[in-house]
Structure 1
């Protein structure tokens, strides 16, 4: 009977540990020596509606600084990004693609960016993809990060980043250039339609505050950059952020804003903070 009880307890503990997180974008962080609460918010980098609800505005009011993935008010950020846009070792897009696919991409970029693929020949293909994000929307481009920064500026608070531009750009040196190029070809051949459909679905999941759904969508995506590289895109970065977040929160109550998919899952920021001893609660 004792063995049966222990087995049952172990099973229940396992079920509890793997339980999905609540549907919330805003989370309060307390305990583990913190004198004041900090907050964690899941953002979306491109959207039609970046408005913030009352709870989020209250959390921004209660905190004394904003920390995003990058220090986005750093005036040198654009210059730093330019340094890391090129593929390493002189790799060229024209060498990654056959002649026919390169022509398809060339026509596609001329149509959507008014520039030839030859101008981007040495660029990491994913960087070219990001330039096309506004074309995937049927509305004016908005950014949650920009909205958070606007509020912080009004409150005369500082903005920090959890990682450098170099750190973030190097992520795309650790994802096969061949895969990045292949995804750019797929985008060109569908003339953005598939990407528009996927972004529309993602925005609906985000609006429902389903952070676990955001992570599952990445898992299930046909895009090999996201579905096959979550260790590079999410997990490794999440783990690197935890010690930095701990140091920052100890100094001042902080509002953290990172991509919503970073929050979810067993290796997401929420559960990693809990493992570190913090109490992390959904703010509904």
Structure 2
């Protein structure tokens, strides 16, 4: 159950001038705000990835060693995270999965999760439908996925650095109360019905991630049938905007290694563009 909730949590990661958008291909960035004595760093993660595609570069480890704390989207080192996840994962107003789908769709979901994922659908009966995406990725990836976030938590522990969150688990989970539950389950069913296409798309995403093409990765996410599907404002853009003043405050207190989903970096409304607009000097690190 802990591994299942962890995989779920990991998934759960105005107009601005396009001149601010990053043109460099990099996942690792030095960020310096006016008056800062020491720089902080920003790294784009992919929340779940096969071990064969996973890599932590020497450059990344060196920059992390120059910081005093690690800031993830949420505090993955919080001992109360799993309890908080259990508390906030259910739908509001007494909604249940059976009320959102037809009998035929429910039977399909039940059979698929039993045969291809290895879990019973009954345990998700009252959960926000997007929660189902976590275990579904076991079928998409065909491997036991690895997490950049948990690897960064381990590196932080070795150098005795504190791990903090840019936003709270409650804030992140509340997003999925603003997106219609029927839209969420529709995304799950679409992925199950087109699993080969989903695997191909995720393979393309991993390829772009490994080549550090953050704008191409961002564009792929925007065009995906399995992601935000019209909910970009609440899932991506509003969070990017909210994060920037928090990043400024955290970075002012001490040099920090920030790590967020790489999809948040690219585009003219991405974190890099917003940081530059806010006066930060942002430099790609190869």
What is the deviation of 1:234? 0.9
Cα deviation for residue 116 of structure 1 reads: 3.4
The alpha carbon displacement at 1:66 in A equals 0.4
Distance 1:115 1:243 in 2: 41
Max Rg structure: 1
Conserved? CA contact 2:166–2:246, under 8 Å: yes
Between the aligned partners of 1:98 and 1:31, the Cα distance in structure 2 is 53
Provide the residue aligned with 1:206 in structure 2: 209
What is the TM-score of this pair, normalised by structure 2? 0.89
Residue 195 of structure 1 and its aligned partner are, at CA, apart by 2.4
Counterpart position of 2:198: 195
Aligned residue for 2:182? Answer: 178
**2:41 is the alignment partner of 1:39:** yes
Find out whether 1:282 has 2:284 as its counterpart. yes
**CA offsets per residue over residues 191-215 of structure 1, 9 Å max, x none?**
x333222221111110010111111
Residue 214 of structure 2 corresponds to residue 218 of structure 1: no
> Residue 13 of structure 2 corresponds to which residue in structure 1?
none
Instruction: Provide the C-alpha distance between the structure 1 equivalents of 2:128 and 2:17, rounded to a whole number of angstroms.
Output: 42
Unaligned stretches of 5+ in structure 2? Answer: 1-15
Mark the runs of 5 or more structure 1 residues left unpaired by the alignment: 1-13
Q: Partners of 1:60 and 1:230 in 2: how far apart?
A: 30
Secondary structure of the corresponding residue to residue 122 of structure 1? coil
CA deviation digits over 1:126-176, x for unaligned, max 9?
Answer: 101212222322333111111111111110110000011100001111111
Equivalent position to 1:141, from 140, 145, 161: 145
Deviation of 1:227 after TM superposition, in Å, equals: 3.3
Distance 1:151 1:119, change over 3 A: closer
**1:228-267 superposed matches below 5 A:** 228-267=230-269
> Which has the larger displacement, 14-23 or 204-213?
14-23
Looking at structure 2, the residues matched to 15 and 117 of structure 1 have their Cα atoms a distance apart, in angstroms, of 45
Match of 1:7 in 2: none
Kindly state the Cα deviation for residue 230 of structure 1 after the two structures are TM-superposed.
1.2
What is the TM-score when the length of structure 1 is the normalising length? 0.90
Aligned match of 2:28 in 26, 30, 33? 26
Map of 2:132 onto structure 1: 128
Alignment: residue pair count: 269
Counterpart Cα distance in 1 of 2:17 and 2:189: 42
Q: Is the 8 A contact 1:218 1:227 kept in 2?
A: no
State which of 68, 84, 89 in structure 2 corresponds to 1:85: 89
- Corresponding residue of 2:65: 61
Distance 1:55 1:114 in 2: 39
Aligned with residue 76 of structure 1, among 48, 55, 80: 80
**What is the rounded CA distance, in whole Å, between the counterparts of 2:179 and 2:80 in structure 1?**
25
Residues 90-138 of structure 1 deviation map (CA, whole Å, 9 limit, x = unaligned): 1111111111111111111111344433332211111012122223223
- Residue 104 of structure 1 contacts residue 189 of structure 1 at CA under 8 Å; is this kept in 2? no
CA distance in 2, matches of 1:84, 1:97: 22
**Aligned CA-pair RMSD:** 1.7
Q: CA deviation at 1:19?
A: 5.5
